[in-house]
Amino acid sequence: MGPRALLLLLLSFLAPWATKALRPALRALGSLHLPTNPTSLPAVAKNYSVLYFQQKALAGHLHTCIIQLNRSKTPLVDHFGFNTVKTFNQRYLVADKYWKKNGGSILFYTGNEGDIIWFCNNTGFMWDVAEELKAMLVFAEHRYYGESLPFGDNSFKDSRHLNFLTSEQALADFAELIKHLKRAIPGAENQPVIAIGGSYGGMLAAWFRMKYPHMAVGALAASAPIWQFEDLVPCGVFMKIVTTDFRKSGPHCSESIRRSWDAINRLSNTGSGLQWLSGALHLCSPLTSQDIQHLKDWISETWVNLAMVDYPYASNFLQPLPAWPIKVICQYLKNPNVSDSLLLQNIFQALNVYYNYSGQVKCLNISETATSSLGTLGWSYQACTEVVMPFCTNGVDDMFEPHSWNLKELSDECFEQWGVRPRPSWITTMYGGKNISSHTNIVFSNGELDPWSGGGVTKDITDTLVAVTISEGAHHLDLRAKNALDPTSVLLARALEVRHMKNWIRDFYDRAGKQH
């Protein structure tokens, strides 16, 4: 597996890629097996009235998140140049059932790499705290994802168009949108804004507070690996956490997975072995010798996804899954000291929990791993430019085949596909790396089960740059809707997050009162 394939495998939390070159990496760096048509999704907060916000009017009462396309004040394609005034339509969602013009607040979701309706329907925390914070909820779609395409259907056909797909441009979009909302909605002008996001969206929330502190009084950055760059953390930390999750979930579970790679290699050496392997894994298409690396990448990605969605209750975040899915899977992987054929039959049983828990799937497709509500081309480009996160494995501290981090190979692969080369140090130059103590009012939350926590802020930096750790938490569990099976650790985390947000809101109004 090349470095770009490994990077993409880990980086896209978020959508299945149709080809090996476009495999996912951060599923929501943030984030359910949902219908391809996002408008058919159920709302997380079904008791909420959700609104269309059409230009300057609020109207409509429906049962789920409603789209508002801001066409009256469209953002610039390039915020940092002066020789073009081209604009595009950025999609965003607004809900204001519990919003109060007096003493209220605006919770602003910094959209990440996917369709904003998907994030709206799967960030239940915001809906759950809206009444307590008297909050208007705004979900802003990230440029080049969903329907917010600066060049329409041609957005990905010309690398010159993709030059405007950066985190800096996206943050500027958010800033312009907040300015517009405060101008257009009576009562919103003098209200505090709190940025909220998970995974890549969490990184954006933190960076927005850093770069636009006058626009947002604080930020909740959930599962945000802002330090997964350059050598700020060891390149192997991500896969080591994945392995720990499996090792703790069942006896010999991680060792069975570790031994499966050589078993696949041995069985795939012959035509009859490939045929047997295709049947044993119930694959939709027969394997060829050229497919084996892709097969192993697909299996690896499955284990990674399971670590991210190891939730304490049944869920359908990336696929329909049972509660504590890794424990269920590890029931099939208790004995690594068996024949290759029996070991791989056990691997199939484990894979089948992830891909066929509903019992409706007739065969396994190694080109599919999760929801199609996430962006593919856009994230592939970002992973080749500024979101360059080093990953590696050694097969000793982790349960995967050894793969070293090779920046040159990544650079060559990116240049071949996109005509660009990565800038691995740009993110730390732009946002400070670990030198962020001058900033204030950011809560970084991380679950100990989440492999992305290895690149996150897990210890307090200052009194106002606070780390919240969720011992039984997978990927941004705290942003999900409250559930009767939530562990105490996430209940305490959410309570602490709300307390910080209340303090930011109170301080905002205290300062405003003194100024008047």
Distance CA 256, CA 410 (A): 30
Using CB atoms within 10 Å of the CB of residue 45, give its burial: 0 to 12 exposed, 13 to 18 middle, 19+ buried: buried
> What is the per-residue burial (b if ≥16 Cβ within 10 Å, else e) of 473-499?
bbbbbbbbeebeebbebbeebbeebbe
Do 199 and 28 meet the contact criterion of CB atoms below 8 Å apart? yes
507 catalytic, yes or no? no
Distance CA 222, CA 201 (A): 8
- The catalytic residue among 475, 476, 486, 500 is 475
Do 207 and 167 meet the contact criterion of CB atoms below 8 Å apart? yes
252 catalytic, yes or no? no
- The catalytic residue among 291, 297, 340, 450 is 450
H, E, C per residue of 158-198:
CHHHHCCCCHHHHHHHHHHHHHHHHHHCCCCCCCCEEEEEE
- The catalytic residue among 148, 199, 315, 380 is 199
Do 300 and 316 meet the contact criterion of CB atoms below 8 Å apart? no
Distance CA 169, CA 124 (A): 27
Do 364 and 357 meet the contact criterion of CB atoms below 8 Å apart? no
> What is the per-residue burial (b if ≥16 Cβ within 10 Å, else e) of 287-323?
beeebbbbbbbbbbbbbbbbbbbbbbeebebbbbbee
Do 480 and 457 meet the contact criterion of CB atoms below 8 Å apart? no
297 catalytic, yes or no? no
Residues with a catalytic annotation lie at 199, 450, 475
